[in-house]
Amino acid sequence: MNRLITFEGVDGCGKSTQLKLAAQWLRGRGEQVVTAFEPGDTSLGKEIRTLLLAGEFVPVAEAELLMFLADRAQHVREKIQPALDSGAWVLCDRYTDSTLAYQLAARKLAEGAANLKDMLRFAECGVSPQLTLWFDVSVTVAMQRMKKRAEAGEKATRLDDEAASFHQRVAEAFGHQFEFNSGRITRIDAEKDINGVFAQVEQALEAHFSLS
């Protein structure tokens, strides 16, 4: 059974915190859970992540897309598919929806290049999410959270440092994806406090997978 759940949203939406809480909750129910993230969750992926996000070498938009797809293909083959085959739940921080939002929409690569979506599916190696949790938050709130993280000493990535207009295009793209994929994507109101957000996550998991 495919139990790949992806956690998506703009930077600062709180998805990483909620993924950890969801993993803890599922393990408390006796489930086998593997947590994952993109980019950089394999040995090869770590090198790709450094090239992508450190900012020392800035790839052009087309190269950036191809690097994210290379990371995903390695990730699926090396970690995600084996975990699913073992019967585990896989909770992944970012997946194809992020590439659609950041590279195809915010970088405007989708304009006049419909075949790029076929490339995204190719990089998934046949593994698509059973459920995607979209943590919907305004760009203003998200950027305030990112500022607090920076003040707390967390180093920002190259994508974190993009202009507000870039993050706004990302947010709008996630909204459009939800409109067209409401059967797979569940919207989570991420402007609530941590407990309020997790209550929605728990409800979504229980409903989608018929947990009781």
Specify whether the backbone of 172 is left (phi greater than 0), alpha (psi in -120 to 50) or beta: alpha
Residue 100 CB: number of other CB atoms within 10 A? 22
Rounded CA-CA distance 102/110 in Å is 11
Instruction: Specify the residue for token string 């698509």.
Output: 128
15 in a known ligand binding site: yes
160 in a known ligand binding site: no
Rounded CA-CA distance 178/172 in Å is 10
| 154 alpha-carbon distance from chain centroid | 19
11 in a known ligand binding site: yes
Beta strand 131-136 with 185-189 is parallel
112 in a known ligand binding site: no
165 in a known ligand binding site: no
Per the annotation, binding residues for ATP are: 9-16
Instruction: Enumerate the known binding-site residues.
Output: 9-16
